[in-house]
A and B are shown apart, each in its own frame.
Chain A
Amino acid sequence: MAVTESGSKTLLALTSAAVALPGMAPVARADSPPEVTTLGYRYSLYREDDIEPGKLAAGVGERYEIDVHQLRLTTGLGDTWGLTVDYQHESLSGASPFGTSRGVDGNPQVVMTGASIEELRRDLNIGLRRYYDYSNAGISLGYSAEDDYTAYNLGADYQFSTEDRLNTFGLGVSISDDTLEPTQQSGFNRIKKDDKQSLTAVVNYTRVLSTVAQVQTALSLSRHSGFLSDPYKAVDVRPDERIAWAWTTQYRRYLKDWDAALHVDYRLYTDDWGIVSNTFDLAWYQNVDAGLRVAPSLRYYTQSQADFYFPTDNTTRQGYQSSDHRLSPFGALTTGIRVEAHAVNWKVVIAAERYIADGDLALGSVEVEHPALLGFSLVTLGMDYSF
């Protein structure tokens, strides 16, 4: 079908209007600020499974339960600026792994903290973005506070598109400056106060593949330095530097016959602590009717262990060591379902996820599974309102 210049302008205007509809998040290459103000709220309940009695050597087996409240404001400031404000409030209770010991059967057992921990975390992030014809640039400033941990972060990024807007290139950097002040009783490896810093650089590339498909790929490099051990573990001595690479690719395809969108994501991660991980995400966004969407999802994750990971603690061992289950080899599966009802200026969301980590889910064989590998459930309720 031939399209006249005036026709193309009309269609372009219609396309732009569609992009500006509430709930229609602009894709990365749309270089214009939000045309409406949107207020969003999410409440999430995160609950970890208890440690199985046979795997518990000492302490409280009830792990974390966290209430999370999130608020988000996005708005345009004039014709060329956009503002985003995110606030997150978390209240946590429960016990966490303190260390490991060898059980009578020779397998490691987990030692949990002796009492439930009560903790609050508040996190504020403000982002400002300037839009140009074929590019945009943003800065962000963040602050996170807990009783024993304070973090400041600063980020900047720049995205630019080719004239045909089929290709978008981006680069960004961020720094984080964190201070730790452990509040619990002294332990073998307890510090009074220390700090760590993180520097991350990302380059990304987005490509429109067709009228119904697009792909984004990104490479990130991070350097973490300072006190990187866990001050709440009985024995935990880690290097004071960590260099990490992550390569992420995301593919989106709209299937007209199904009125659905397929999401396929993959991330390869590696660092100089010896960890290599692979993450696969699949999601299917099915439109049931004009105002209802259902999205089942599946995530598979597998990681190798850190070079200095040991299944059981040993206070006489020299050099780096950690029995942290997060540095052990394992695989994990997350299954999720998300339901979204939306109209012109509002959106209601309900979502649920179930996560299970297990040595048997790892790609490689795991000789000794960590007894504190995690299972959790996450339920989210939320609403967005635009005006």
Chain B
Amino acid sequence: MKSVVASALMLALLGGCAEVKPWQRGELARSEMAFVPDAMEASLADHIYFSKEASSGGTSVGGGGCGCN
């Protein structure tokens, strides 16, 4: 059920795709629109949640293990 809802959401998002020229991407290039607005804060947050919860994994690779407990 969750997968169906997620797939429907994805289709709805992609269904709204429009042609966007390079000169129309000023808003997309804004720093607050970045997928990772602050790399250091995101790195620390990933590190904390990786250490304190059972889940890990995201949109990129990198970073190693730690003995954090």
Contact = CB atoms under 8 A, between A and B. Distances in A.
A275 B53 CA distance: 11
Interface residues of B, number: 53
Interface of A: 3, 8, 11-12, 14-15, 18-19, 23-28, 30, 40, 42, 44, 46, 68, 70, 72, 86, 88, 96, 121, 123, 125, 127, 140, 142-144, 146, 148-149, 151-153, 155-157, 164-166, 170, 172-174, 176, 178, 180, 196, 198, 200-202, 204, 206-218, 220, 222, 230, 232, 244-246, 248-252, 254, 256, 260-261, 266-269, 271, 273, 275, 277-279, 285, 287, 293, 295, 301, 303, 306, 326-327, 332, 338, 349, 351, 357, 374, 376, 378, 380, 382
Contacts of B58: 202, 218, 220, 246, 248, 267
A201 to B, nearest CB: 8
Contacts of A378: 48
A44 B42 CA distance: 12
Contacts of A44: 44
Contacts of A266: 6
Given A70-B43, A222-B57, A12 B23 contact: yes
Interface of B: 2, 6, 10, 13-14, 16-41, 43-44, 48-49, 52-69
A207 B14 contact: yes
Contacts of B22: 8, 11-12, 15, 165
A215 B11 CA distance: 12
A380 B67 contact: no
